[in-house]
Amino acid sequence: MTITQINALNAEMDSALEAMLPEMEEIYKDLHRNPELSMQEVRTARIAADYLKKYNWEVTAGIGVTGVLGLLNNGEGPTVMLRADMDALPVTEATGLPYASTVRAVDEDGTEVGVSHVCGHDFHVTWLMGTARLLAEHKNLWSGTILAVFQPGEEVGRGAKAMIDDGMMTRFPKPDIILGQHVMVGIAGYVGHRSGAILAGGDSLKVQIFGRGSHGSQPQTAIDPVIMAAATTIRLQTIVSREIDPNDSAVLTVGALQAGTKENIIPDDATLKLNIRTFDEDVRNHIMAAVKRVCCAECQASNAPQEPEFSTLSHYPLTVNDAEATAKVAVAFEAQFGDRSYETPRKSASEDFSVFGRAWQVPYVFWFVGGTDKATFLEAQKNKAINTIPSNHSPKFAPVLHPTLKTGFVTMITAAAVWLNAH
């Protein structure tokens, strides 16, 4: 569609969108109260599937465990894929919201954890459900084919691949474009877009370090894995600070150090869990090699009985927006939002969204929708304290409902319309 046609489509849908906002708010609050861990999104998937069926979408459930795909064919035109991730985090919510999650569940390691949507995926699911309804109820305004994909397991980096591995590419039409969005810290009602790399590649590793346990009163009889783990944690921080060019962006975080059960027992082993974010493949390869070098060297220095064991917890490829497709979306956003559409800096967060585009070898565009109260954000900006605003994955991450809710529908409709034919 042309920009004029896209604006006309949005104007035509606006009254219907306003009318459905109360219902979508209740759906959002329900999803927020009832989060589900990665690859366990049974209830969320059922809600999404039933909603699409209500508006006459052809629905296939159980793709890649809990994934849902809705298909809406509306005559000649391009095929547009819209994607939302469904899973929540093993985080106990501390937002104080009246609809806050109190859910507890058992994770894949058998540990009971608090569960919450402090990732924002409840917004993503709600946005795609509402967009699906708007498109179905206004088929007279557009033509083409829509794939609405509700994806599991984004937080563990497995969901997109699971859907692909379950035959998604052979069972459904190949899209001409894949579109996705994420609620982030930023002024609510604003949308940030960027050509090229917008999200980092991410790698999470588990490193098991082996020592020799003993009584805490007799350290000379032990090879202490706690000391090894502590020294390794400190030394790992020098990889980015001393081995990576300051002009290259990289992050290395040790998010967990687990060892022992009692203060007077030196344990046999310790476990580190670390996360790496990079925007360049050569930088990634250097850091991955350096992690193994540092871990092995620290263990050798401590006379460990064996080398550490490394295992991959998750891997996220770079999210690199197609330049031509992003330019088209940016023009449409600017026509719709004016100065509330802006070029965003790239973020060091990671996503498995690009797995779909990479597998199908088609262009994709991913963008950010702000969810922070405008006055709060501007005050923090004035005080150079934006980093104090609770961000995604914080127990206190709580995007404001309005205008965030409506903005996500408008962005998804606007971006999709760039490729759809006008009636």
Q: Is the pLDDT of residue 250 over 90?
A: yes
Distance CA 145, CA 260 (A): 56
Residue-wise DSSP of 355-408: HHHHHHT--EEEEEEEEE-HHHHHHHHHTT-GGGS--TTSTT----STTHHHHH
What is the reported pLDDT for 274? 97
Asked if residue 379 belongs to a known ligand binding site, the reply is no
Q: Which residues contact 242 (CB under 8 A, 6 or more apart)?
A: none
Please list the alpha-helical segments (H only) found in 248-361: 281-301, 323-337, 354-360
Mean predicted confidence (pLDDT) in 40-65: 98
Look up the pTM and report it: 0.92
Torsion of CA 40, 361, 319, 82, to 10 degrees: -50
Distance CA 310, CA 308 (A): 7
What is the reported pLDDT for 275? 96
Asked if residue 32 belongs to a known ligand binding site, the reply is no
Q: Which residues contact 14 (CB under 8 A, 6 or more apart)?
A: none
Q: How confident is the model at residue 109 (pLDDT cuts 50, 70, 90)?
A: confident
Exposure of 255 by Cβ count < 10 A (0-12 exposed, 13-18 middle, 19+ buried)?
Answer: exposed
What is the reported pLDDT for 113? 97
Asked if residue 121 belongs to a known ligand binding site, the reply is yes
Asked if residue 119 belongs to a known ligand binding site, the reply is yes
What is the reported pLDDT for 205? 97
Q: Is the pLDDT of residue 148 over 90?
A: yes
Q: Find the angle CA(94)-CA(95)-CA(97) to the nearest 5 degrees.
A: 125
Q: Is the pLDDT of residue 29 over 90?
A: yes
Mean predicted confidence (pLDDT) in 183-201: 97
Distance CA 298, CA 275 (A): 19
Q: How confident is the model at residue 30 (pLDDT cuts 50, 70, 90)?
A: very high
For 74-103, write each residue's pLDDT tens digit. 999 999 999 999 999 999 999 999 999 999
Domains assigned to the chain: 3-198+318-422 (3.40.630.10), 201-315 (3.30.70.360)
Q: How confident is the model at residue 328 (pLDDT cuts 50, 70, 90)?
A: very high
Q: How confident is the model at residue 167 (pLDDT cuts 50, 70, 90)?
A: very high
What is the reported pLDDT for 189? 97
What is the reported pLDDT for 307? 97
Q: Is the pLDDT of residue 423 over 90?
A: no
For 196-232, write each residue's pLDDT tens digit. 999 999 999 999 999 999 999 999 999 999 999 999 9
Q: Is the pLDDT of residue 294 over 90?
A: yes
Cis bond before residue 175 (omega within 30° of 0): no
Q: How confident is the model at residue 397 (pLDDT cuts 50, 70, 90)?
A: very high
Q: What is the average pLDDT score of the chain?
A: 97
